[in-house]
C-alpha cells in the first residue's frame, strides 16, 4: 500500500458554519446542496465532510457526506444527499432545509479514498456511490485531463442516475441493472468484466464506491479484469441516515 500523506487532514478540524446557497434535485430521492463558507475549505477529490444538526435543547445528529464538487479555490462546495426514509439527518436536509439556512460542517476528511489527478484512475460508482467519484471526474475535466479517468456507473434505472446530463462523455460507461432506457444497447444486468473499459493501464488506481454488496461484487470484477487487489480502494456506503 502506498502511504498517504500524513498532512492530508488538519491536526484539528473545527466546525464551520456554512450557508446553503442552492439546492437542486438530482433524482426523486437525491438532492445536491451547494454550501458557502466564510473562507475557502480546500478539499481533495473523494473526501467527505460531516454535517451536524443541533436542536434547541442541545441534541445533535451528525452524518458524513461525500463532497460532489471538484477541488477548486472557492469557498463553495457541493454535497449530494440521498433521502433515506428513516434517516434523521437526510430527511431533515431534504424536507426542511431551504436556501439561506445555515448548517454546521466539519472537514474535509479522508486521505485514502482521494485522487490527486497525478495518475490514471478507474472509477466505479454504484447508485449513490457515484458522488465521490463524480468529484474525481469533475476534477479531471476541470484540469483538462479527462484522459486520466474512466468512470463506470451502475444504477437500477434511469431515474436513479445522478448528474445525468453532466456525467455522460467519452470517459463514462453507464449500466443499468433493472431497467435501461429505450434503445439502450446493453441489456439490464449487473456489472461484469465486459463493462470495464480496457485494457486497464498499469499504475491505475481503482476507486469503488457503493453499498457493501456492490463494492464486493465490483472488487471481484476488477480483480478478474486484472487490477491488483492492492490498487483497489473501496468506500462502502453504510445505511447512515
Partner 1 sequence: MARFTRGFTGRGHSERDARLPPGQYDTGRTWPVLTAEVTPHLDLATWTFRIEGLVERPTTWSWDEIHALPPSSYAGDIHCVTTWSKFDTHFSGVSVDTLLDAAGVQPSATHVLAFSHTAYTTNLPLAHITNGQAWIVWEYEGRPLEPAHGGPARLLVPHLYFWKSAKFIAGLRLLDHDEHGFWEQNGYHDLGDPWLEQRYQGD
Interface residues toward partner 1, by CB under 8 A:
1, 3-4, 6, 8-13, 15, 17, 52-64, 88, 92, 96-97, 101-104, 106, 109-113, 212, 216, 219, 223, 229-230, 232-236, 238-241
> In the complex with partner 1, which residue's Cβ is closer, 144 or 230?
230
Q: How far is the CB of 235 from partner 1 (least distance, A)?
A: 7
CA dist., res. 153 & res. 37, Å (int): 30
> In the complex with partner 1, which residue's Cβ is closer, 46 or 176?
46
Residue of 233, 237, 227, 236 lying closest to 114 (CA atoms): 233
> In the complex with partner 1, which residue's Cβ is closer, 157 or 205?
205
Q: How far is the CB of 161 from partner 1 (least distance, A)?
A: 24
Q: How far is the CB of 159 from partner 1 (least distance, A)?
A: 25
Q: How far is the CB of 19 from partner 1 (least distance, A)?
A: 12
> In the complex with partner 1, which residue's Cβ is closer, 171 or 235?
235
Tell me which residue has cell 481533495: 44
Handedness of CA 189, 229, 114, 47 (dihedral sign): positive
Q: How far is the CB of 111 from partner 1 (least distance, A)?
A: 4
> In the complex with partner 1, which residue's Cβ is closer, 73 or 86?
86
Amino acid at each position: 500500500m502506498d502511504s498517504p500523506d500524513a498532512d492530508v487532514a488538519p491536526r484539528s478540524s473545527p466546525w464551520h458554519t456554512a450557508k446553503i446557497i442552492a439546492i437542486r434535485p438530482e433524482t426523486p430521492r437525491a438532492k445536491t446542496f451547494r454550501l458557502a463558507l466564510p473562507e475557502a475549505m480546500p478539499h481533495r477529490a473523494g473526501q467527505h465532510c460531516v454535517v451536524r444538526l443541533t436542536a434547541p435543547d442541545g441534541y445533535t445528529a451528525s452524518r458524513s457526506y461525500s463532497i460532489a464538487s471538484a477541488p477548486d479555490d472557492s469557498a463553495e462546495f457541493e454535497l449530494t444527499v440521498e433521502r433515506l426514509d428513516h434517516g434523521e439527518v437526510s430527511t431533515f436536509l431534504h424536507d426542511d432545509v431551504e436556501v439561506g439556512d445555515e448548517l454546521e460542517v466539519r472537514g474535509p476528511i479522508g486521505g485514502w479514498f482521494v485522487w490527486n489527478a497525478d495518475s490514471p484512475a478507474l472509477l466505479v460508482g454504484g447508485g449513490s456511490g457515484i458522488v465521490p467519484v463524480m468529484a474525481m471526474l469533475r476534477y479531471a475535466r476541470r484540469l483538462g485531463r479527462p484522459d486520466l479517468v474512466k468512470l463506470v456507473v451502475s444504477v437500477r434505472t434511469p431515474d436513479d442516475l445522478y448528474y445525468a446530463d453532466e456525467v455522460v462523455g467519452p470517459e463514462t460507461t453507464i449500466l443499468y441493472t433493472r431497467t435501461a432506457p429505450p434503445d439502450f444497447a446493453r441489456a439490464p444486468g449487473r456489472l461484469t468484466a465486459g463493462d470495464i473499459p480496457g485494457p486497464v493501464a498499469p499504475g491505475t488506481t481503482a476507486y469503488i464506491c457503493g453499498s457493501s454488496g456492490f463494492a464486493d461484487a465490483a472488487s471481484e470484477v476488477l480483480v478478474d479484469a486484472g487490477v491488483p487487489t492492492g490498487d483497489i480502494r473501496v468506500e462502502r456506503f453504510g445505511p447512515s441516515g
